[in-house]
Amino acid sequence: MDITIQLVWLFVLAIPIACISWTVTHEEIFKEPREWCVKHSKNDRTLLSRKVFYLFTCEYCFSHYVTIAFLILCNYKLLLNDWRGYILAGFSLVFMANVYMSLFALLRQAIKKEKVEIEKIENETDSEKLLT
């Protein structure tokens, strides 16, 4: 596979990996199972059990497992056409997926901050109207 095609695959495959990882570890639809996993990751007796449950609460950790599933599903290799290509592809996909998730988190934070500032301005305007 041509290097250009491999890089396109890298940037494109990282999108669903990031999407799945973010959704499972942050969004409301998985809130109850995530809270259950958080409880078990803090309170279970064995280290292995705590770590297994923790992986469903951390987008970075979870993205590794989602990446493995996508590598198997898509048979994607980066630069080398043997098992080393899978290793390079795996860590590259995890990196790109986490870049996407970080950018998404920053975007959401900026939007939330803007909403709070708008609400504050609206409240101040309403208060001024009431005083006059």
- Tens-digit pLDDT profile for residues 26-62: 999 999 999 999 999 999 999 999 999 998 889 999 9
In this prediction, residue 85 carries a pLDDT of 95
d(CA 17, CA 95): 11
d(CA 59, CA 55): 8
d(CA 61, CA 23): 13
In this prediction, residue 68 carries a pLDDT of 96
Q: 104: closest CA among 37, 35, 10, 21?
A: 21
The residues near 15 (Cβ < 8 Å, ≥ 6 apart) are: 97, 100
d(CA 94, CA 100): 10
First to last CA, the chain: 71
d(CA 5, CA 61): 27
Mean pLDDT along residues 93-101: 97
Q: What separation in angstroms does the CA of 99 have from each of 17, 67, 73, 85, 96?
A: 11, 14, 22, 21, 5
Asked if pLDDT for residue 74 goes beyond 70, the answer is yes
The model's confidence at residue 71, banded by pLDDT at 50, 70 and 90, is: very high
Confirm if 45 and 128 have CB atoms less than 8 A apart: no
Q: What is the mean pLDDT of the chain?
A: 92
Mean pLDDT along residues 86-93: 96
Confirm if 98 and 16 have CB atoms less than 8 A apart: no
